[in-house]
Structure 1
């Protein structure tokens, strides 16, 4: 060792022996920088330092050694340090973090004469969690020391291996109270099925019942139903809570338990469950709510309504109330009279979700309450109930000042349309004569949902409305109603002064599937609005046929790029070969977005021949986005063969985004070649 090294070693030792915490920490940091390969004694001593910061620094330093795993035996020896709890804790931390590397050294100590060390070893093995530790842990169940036996059971639970269950059940026969408690917890952690009859006798011990029910909830299955239901009336509250949580768990996992539960829970148990709905323990409260949801017992309605105020429990409480409304509607209806507005909003939701026809008079009254939120909910629920008798009141709600109420009423009437047929149509048609354009528009939307022979005629009438909003709604509603005899109506809509009406008409014509729609769409290709022309192109694609394909091909050369792109994309879906051929021609288009779309279609074809024919023009294109997309396509299709072209372009590329793309691809190709 050189003089400088000796001097540095002395300085480190001096710092490590200092009475000041910071100096000892600096000593460890200097030791780390010294490049030592084997841990000196003063590092092992630092593991037992009175300061947790020093111990942690020393632990991290030891674990940073390349040979740390091979030196685990030295750390295992530190578990014997009875007089230094900090040193033992540091050793436990290191061995746990070493994981499987430490297992061989730990197993050598599993039979040592010191019970404290045996317990430490089992706890560390449990944290490591390797299946190879199963046999030593099973053997520990017969250890002479009670703490070691408990550690064996506890850590078998952490391993979660079903192979441990027989040994744990055997140990349960002759165990003391605390040991049995630990075994039950371990069995629950493992989760493997256990014959319930093997465990039920231990429920005679009051102090074990909670642990037993916790265990049954995880492993008992349907066989645990009867004892758990009995547990709901146990005199000890924590046992009742454990029984409820266990019942909720197995009823969730086993549908058969859910079906049997209502018939198994007697009067006293039902009262006990109701009490648990107010438990301060969230898990218990949720379990009680789940059980109540399976009982279909109207006595819980008030409690469930109160739980709707709890955001976390609202969904389950709501589901339970909907079920109750299905089996005890009268009880839920009684709450309406005395409920405030907020509570009525909840009730209206429930009536609607349960499709409770008996609630219609209450919901209609709520429709006239004057409270905007309540009116909206009542309107929606009337639609869900599906009683045509609500139509006049819902139509009246369409005249409300609030657009939210109007939309809710319109949605409800649309839901009623399949049930009400011509009745609804007769009620709604007069809306088309109203002065309010919004009211006329809602009328059109509702009429569009009516499956009646007169529907299309009324929509055709609405296409002449002075309001563009109404005409747009009428065109949208025509989809699905416009047979051949209504093509004339849509053809007229293509001459509307509003571009959106014309665009929608072009879209609807494509949905007819009628060859007669071809001629009006050909005219729409000449529309002054680019969005109308683009819609006509896509509709021609939906119609298909030779003439449609020809028209789409011609649209490729529309002076506006958006239309050309629509043509390319439409051909790509209907005529891939033609799209491939025309895309090559489109590479010369003035609009760079059309060129980019063409490059993407060509790249998607998987064919390579177009790349070489267009390489110089595209890799040197004036627009950077075209260059970037072509570079991606070239690399995807040609791979390393295009390296030289990428390198040449990188020498002159001025756009930073493209330069970065080139560099990334060149690096990727280099790695691929390597």
Structure 2
């Protein structure tokens, strides 16, 4: 039996699962034979079969025969499942669906038009707006409403055109159309003046979308109705609108805070009431948390702490508590003692991120006490916080944790950071005569912390180097790595041979630190004595992590011996290597590096091209503008956008001419916006778009 016969047989089976498996085999057929079985599957009685067929349609893409067949599904018919599946399938074809529907949609009946309109809305294509334009005034009211709703789905790509079209359909004599238009205006962020929507705020039907549009206006006059709505309604829309309003501008936030202080406790209690809900719907909770943080409602801090363990609300709860700052400290201190490790860790992390002038001794004591917690996550959170705000009182505990293999990677940066803030106290932990216990590890970290800051002058440099070299022979790979950190901070050239030997260490982290240390060793004339060894690492290229680290170290060295090696690597097929080579070259002062950086502009990987563009952008060489202009023709939209941004900083007629030329042909809306901004920032734009109206529309 042929494959076509097997598939046909499977598609008429009584077993839905067999039919679904048959759909997955349609891809085996030639394109000309796929349409009929695929349409049959799209109209199947079982939703699983239809879903499989929709997925296959997206996989096959907008093949001409399939497109034509799907469009004809919108002709009069009674297979509702097929028509709905066709909407979903066509919507996934984007611009191809718009092109296929455009010449046919006017010939469809009202039901067919509504389905086609839904597919256009699903397409996500701004070009669909031109197809929808005549349909907003169709003779059938349901078609008009559907077209207005679809504009909300695709209008965000052409806001001004969609805004004008939707505004033209605001008519109180047609409330359903006005409702659809207002909802779509809110969806696209149309930015209507408050005075335009104010008259509909009390309307039972139009009030909800009008409230959101009032919030989007950012007008101080919108604050009173927004807070009244929050106080008098248990629905999510008012609190969501207020959350959007306080984020529009500082002016809007200030107006909301002033109004909240005026109306008293009722609105504040309504906001806090959302945080006591545990009914599963967190949309209102998230909005309320946003408002509580923005308006500094300190009473909300304990409830906000209670939402930290919920991943759906963590971001808003964290931001609210952070904005509350010192006012949130009592709630955070209480939360840090919670039996739930997730809550405790989140509170400790927040305490460490508060402004340093708000961190009290009690906060630091709480952070230090948490280092003895049974949960490793809690201890790591405390270590992270102490890295930022810890004082010398916690140093002994940090040294103790260096012996804990599960926590050492978090304890090390904490000890280094605290040592840098309190160098005199840190020096008391330097014990050069001992290689036992946690003492040598701590000594090496203190040397690494204080060496670059010139805080080791009271100690003999030879003894420091000798200690670090002896520690490099430790059986602990963590101590060997710390020894390399110390040797890098001391920059002593006598350590070169020992560091080169560490390149063969059995532990990858030690080998990686050895490469970094090679880049830090300096001779008496401040030359980079480790460059030859780094060049060997690059030449061998046996380990990608070591190779990338060596390239960064060569960049930091600014040694001219690195140029002949870095240049060819800009063309590496490995984008990571090419980007690292570009960034290394950008840190060299030798003008010869420019030719290699120009080579990077022709790399097939956009990330390499962008790195090269950033590397050359500030160079005074006249060739730079020409090369950046050529990048405006790159196929990758993000490359073109970056080229526009960089040319906008050039403020020359040559760069402006390149920007204008590209703007005349550019299709991508984000790139067009970047081109326009670049021309305006350089003062070279010859014509400006009309200003958005500020008064009544």
Task: Using the TM superposition, give the Cα deviation of residue 415 of structure 1 relative to its aligned residue in structure 2, in angstroms.
Answer: 1.0
In the superposition, relative to structure 1, how do residues 481 and 116 fare at CA in structure 2: closer, same or farther (>3 Å)? closer
- What is the DSSP-based 3-state SS (H/G/I as helix, E as strand, rest coil) of the residue aligned with 1:453? coil
Judge conservation of contact 1:222–1:254 (CA < 8 Å) in 2.
Answer: no
Counterpart of 2:532 (choices 513, 529, 537) is 537
- What is the DSSP-based 3-state SS (H/G/I as helix, E as strand, rest coil) of the residue aligned with 2:429? helix
In the superposition, relative to structure 1, how do residues 432 and 304 fare at CA in structure 2: closer, same or farther (>3 Å)? farther
The alignment status of 1:478 with 2:473, answered yes or no, reads no
What's the counterpart of residue 414 of structure 2?
412
The alignment status of 1:229 with 2:226, answered yes or no, reads yes
The alignment status of 1:358 with 2:356, answered yes or no, reads no
Deviations 1:142-192 (A, max 9, x none): 566543442343344345253354454354333344333222222223432
Deviations 1:92-135 (A, max 9, x none): 899988653443343256xxxx7666656766666678878768
What's the counterpart of residue 385 of structure 2?
381
In the superposition, relative to structure 1, how do residues 460 and 478 fare at CA in structure 2: closer, same or farther (>3 Å)? same
Counterpart of 2:210 (choices 201, 212, 236) is 212
Superposed, 1:252-263 pairs within 5 Å as 252=247, 254=249, 256-258=251-253, 260-263=255-258
Q: When the two structures are aligned, how many residues end up with a matched partner?
A: 498
Deviations 1:14-45 (A, max 9, x none): x9xx9x999xxx9xxxxxx99999x9xx99x9
Task: Using the TM superposition, give the Cα deviation of residue 201 of structure 1 relative to its aligned residue in structure 2, in angstroms.
Answer: 1.3
Judge conservation of contact 1:397–1:406 (CA < 8 Å) in 2.
Answer: no
Task: Using the TM superposition, give the Cα deviation of residue 445 of structure 1 relative to its aligned residue in structure 2, in angstroms.
Answer: 1.6
In the superposition, relative to structure 1, how do residues 230 and 465 fare at CA in structure 2: closer, same or farther (>3 Å)? same
What's the counterpart of residue 100 of structure 1?
99
In the superposition, relative to structure 1, how do residues 207 and 445 fare at CA in structure 2: closer, same or farther (>3 Å)? same
What's the counterpart of residue 528 of structure 1?
none
Q: Which runs of 5+ in 1 are unaligned?
A: 1-14, 27-32, 522-534, 543-551, 557-561, 581-604, 607-674
Judge conservation of contact 1:244–1:287 (CA < 8 Å) in 2.
Answer: yes
Task: Using the TM superposition, give the Cα deviation of residue 454 of structure 1 relative to its aligned residue in structure 2, in angstroms.
Answer: 2.3
Judge conservation of contact 2:149–2:184 (CA < 8 Å) in 1.
Answer: yes
In the superposition, relative to structure 1, how do residues 172 and 447 fare at CA in structure 2: closer, same or farther (>3 Å)? same
Judge conservation of contact 1:199–1:212 (CA < 8 Å) in 2.
Answer: yes
Counterpart of 2:142 (choices 143, 147, 153) is 147
Q: Output the CA distance in 2 between the equivalents of 1:351 and 1:223.
A: 34
Judge conservation of contact 2:297–2:324 (CA < 8 Å) in 1.
Answer: yes
Deviations 1:584-617 (A, max 9, x none): xxxxxxxxxxxxxxxxxxxxx99xxxxxxxxxxx
Task: Using the TM superposition, give the Cα deviation of residue 366 of structure 1 relative to its aligned residue in structure 2, in angstroms.
Answer: 0.8
Superposed, 1:586-601 pairs within 5 Å as none
Q: Output the CA distance in 2 between the equivalents of 1:505 and 1:106.
A: 65
The alignment status of 1:188 with 2:190, answered yes or no, reads no
Q: Which runs of 5+ in 2 are unaligned?
A: 1-8, 17-21, 23-28, 541-545, 567-594, 597-697
Q: Output the CA distance in 1 between the equivalents of 2:331 and 2:448.
A: 38
- TM-score, normalised to structure 2's length? 0.55
In the superposition, relative to structure 1, how do residues 210 and 361 fare at CA in structure 2: closer, same or farther (>3 Å)? same
Structure with the higher fraction of residues in helix conformation: 1
Counterpart of 1:512 (choices 518, 522, 533) is 522
In the superposition, relative to structure 1, how do residues 36 and 221 fare at CA in structure 2: closer, same or farther (>3 Å)? same
- TM-score, normalised to structure 1's length? 0.56
- What is the DSSP-based 3-state SS (H/G/I as helix, E as strand, rest coil) of the residue aligned with 1:511? coil
What's the counterpart of residue 294 of structure 2?
294
Q: Output the CA distance in 2 between the equivalents of 1:213 and 1:180.
A: 14
Q: Output the CA distance in 2 between the equivalents of 1:364 and 1:86.
A: 60
Task: Using the TM superposition, give the Cα deviation of residue 67 of structure 1 relative to its aligned residue in structure 2, in angstroms.
Answer: 8.0
Q: Output the CA distance in 1 between the equivalents of 2:63 and 2:441.
A: 77
What's the counterpart of residue 614 of structure 2?
none
Q: Output the CA distance in 2 between the equivalents of 1:253 and 1:330.
A: 30
